[in-house]
Amino acid sequence: MDEFQDVESIQTAIEVIVQKEGTQRSLAQLCAVLEASSLTPSLDPLVVMPLLIPYQCTHAVRAIRVVSEKANAKEILLVLQEILERLSHDDDQEDEEEQEEKSERLSPTLQLERVVFSYTYILPRVLPKEKTTGQRLQGVLHDLGEHVQALVPHSHPREGQAVLHSVTALTNNLLDYFADHLSDATQLTPCVDALFSLLDVTLAASVNHLHTYLAQRTFEALYPKLVVNSAIDPDWNTGERLVLGALAAANRLGYDTTSLSSNPTLGKLTLLAHIDLQDTDHFALLETYSPIILACLRSNNGMDEASAFLLAHISAMTLVKPHPPSLPFDFMIKFAFVLPSLMGVHPDPPTRHMLFRLTALTLSLTEPSLRAQILMDMLTDSTYSPQTRIAAISLVKESVLHALNGTSVLPVLSPLEDVFGTSLFLEILGPVLFRSNPHDLFDSPTFDPDEFLFSPEPNRLIECLSFYYVLIQRDTENRTGIRDRIRVADMEHKLLRPLRGFLERYNTLNKPEVILAFAGLQTSLERVDSALKDLLKGWGYQSL
C-alpha cells in the first residue's frame, strides 16, 4: 500500500499487470488498493479503462467496477464511447502484430459487455438531475444500441448471452436510480422509452444465441406421442432465464402483455413467445406479428421464437369453442410458401418434423377449397424441394382421413362441404398424386433406371402407393370414389402396371444391389396389389 503514493504509480501498476507479466493474483491485490485508496477518484480514465476493458482476467471486472464507481464519471463515459467506436471497426485493416495482440484480448463482444457493465455504475453518476436527463440518456443508450446491433449477432452464443444479461442489469439498476431521483413524469417517460429500446434491440441481436429450444419444447408439449427421443438440449434453461429476466425488466418499465402486443418488433416477439398467453385473441396477435414472423422464417433469424409463437397460437386456435375460426385467405397466402419450403430443406431433422406438424396445423384451419389449392401447389410447383413435394402427400392424406372420419378441425354442415371427403378430391389431386412424374416415365425410351434410382421419384411413389393403400382400406363407403371400378382400372393402367413391369424386369437381373434398391417400391406395390385383389373379390372379379 505504501508503494502507491500517487496516481501515476497506481496507473503504472495497472499497465504493468495488463501489458507485461501480471497475474490474476496481482490484479486482485491491486483491486484491494483501488477500493481503499483515496487516489482512485483521481485516476485518469483515458489511461485506465482502455487497459482494463479488454484484459482477459476475471479480476478486471472488479477493477472496472471500482473505477466506474469512484473515478470521474463524465470522463469515463467519453472514454467508453471511444472504446465502442473502436470495437465496431475492430476488424478493419489489421496487420499480423495487431492480430497477435488481439488474441490476448477479450473479443469485441465481451469488451462491449464490459462497457455495458461500466455504464451500470457511471450513468447514475453522470446523469444530470435536471430537465435534460431523458434527452441525455436517450443519446447514450441509442449509441450503445447501435454497437449492440453491430457486434452481438455475429458473436459466440455465450458472448451474446452475456451482453443480454448486462443490459438487463443496466436496465434494473437505472430503474432503481430513477425511483429515487426522478419524480417528473415528463422526464421519466423518455428514460423508460430509451431503456426499453435498448433492451428490445439487444433481445433482437441476441435471439439466435439464446438456445432455449422453445419451438421444440412447445412441439413436444403439444405432441408428446410423436416424441421418441427428445431433441431438447439440457442447457436450454440458461437462455430461458435470460429471457425471463429481460421480461421482468420490461414489466418494470411498464411493458405488459398488452403493450408488447402492439407495434411489433423482433425483441417484443422474443418476449411474447416465452409467455403462456391463454386469454388472448390469438389470431389478432398472429396477424399483428405476421410480418416479423415471416421475416424470421425467411432469414432464419429468430426462427425458434417465431416457430414457437406460431405453433402455440395456431394450436390454441384449434381449441376455440364453440368452433375454431378459419385462417383467412390473405394470412394463408403469406405463409403458404414459407412454411412448406422450410419444412423440406431445414438441415435439422427434429426442426423439419416440427415444421411439418406446424404446416399441417396451419392447413387444418384453412377452408378445404383453399387448402386443396395450397396442397396442389406443394405437389407440383418445381420451386419447392423434392422433400417438400413428398411431404405434401402426407398432408393430403391427413386431410382426407380427417374428412372421412369427421375429425376435421373446421366444422362443416355436411360431409359434402369438405372436398377431401368427396370425389372432387380425386378430380383435383388424383392426376397429380397417383401418377409417375413424368406420367410416361416407365415407357419413355430415354428412361434411365440408375438415374431413377438416385432421384426423389422412388420415395415419392412409395408415399403415393402408401396413401392409395390406406385410402382403399379406409374409404369403405367409397365417398371419394377411390373404389369405383373405372378409377381402379385407371390406376392400374397409368401407374401400377408400368411400375410392376419395370420392377419385374430389374428383379430378373438377380442383382442383389438392384433388388435391395427397389425393395421399398416392391413392398408398397405388393400391398396395393393385395388390397385391390380383395376389392375385386368383393365385386366377384378375379381381375380387371
| Count of domains for the chain | 4
- Domain assignment of residue 233, given as a range: 210-366
Same domain as 255, residue 328? yes
Residues 215 and 361 occupy one common structural domain: yes
Same domain? For 222 and 348 the reply is: yes
Instruction: Give residue 477's identity as a one-letter amino acid code.
Output: E
For 248, other C-beta atoms within 10 Å of its C-beta total 13
Based on the fold, state whether residues 226 and 179 are members of the same structural domain: no
Which of 101-105, 107-111, 494-498 comes out lowest in average pLDDT?
101-105
Q: Is the pLDDT of residue 429 over 50?
A: yes
Asked, as a colleague might, if the bond just before 438 is cis with ω within 30 of 0, I would say: yes
**Domain boundary, last residue among 337, 366, 395:** 366
513 pLDDT more than 70? no
Let me know whether 448 and 508 are in one domain.
Answer: yes
Whether pLDDT at 268 is above 80:
yes
Same domain, 149 and 30: no
Give residue 103's pLDDT: 58
Same domain, 486 and 497: yes
Q: How confident is the model at residue 83 (pLDDT cuts 50, 70, 90)?
A: very high
Closest by Cα among 322, 331, 327, 393 to 356: 393
Same domain, 427 and 539: yes
How far is the C-alpha of 71 from the C-alpha of 438, rounded, in Å? Answer: 77
pLDDT digits (tens, 9 = 90+) for 150-180: 999 999 999 999 999 999 999 999 999 998 8
pLDDT at 448: 85
- Reported as type and span, the H/E element at residue 473 is helix 457-474
Q: Average pLDDT over the chain, rounded to whole?
A: 91
Highest mean pLDDT among 57-61, 79-83, 506-510: 79-83
For residue 234, being part of any structural domain is answered with yes
pLDDT score of 96: 47
Is the pLDDT reported for residue 419 higher than 70? yes
The yes-or-no verdict on residue 285 having pLDDT over 50 is: yes
**Could you tell me if residue 377 is inside a domain?**
no
155 against 515, higher pLDDT? 155
Query: Concatenated DSSP letters for 328-359?
Result: PHHHHHHHHHHHHHHHHH-S-HHHHHHHHHHH
- Tell whether the model's pLDDT for residue 93 goes beyond 50: no
Q: pTM here?
A: 0.91
Residue 345 shares a structural domain with residue 257: yes
Q: Tell me which of 165-179, 197-211, 365-379, 512-526 is least confident.
A: 512-526
**Which range, 127-136, 176-185, 216-225, is most confident?**
216-225
- Average pLDDT of the segment spanning 17-24: 67
Task: Let me know whether 219 and 358 are in one domain.
Answer: yes
| 225 plus 181 within the same structural domain | no
Q: Does residue 294 sit within a domain? A: yes
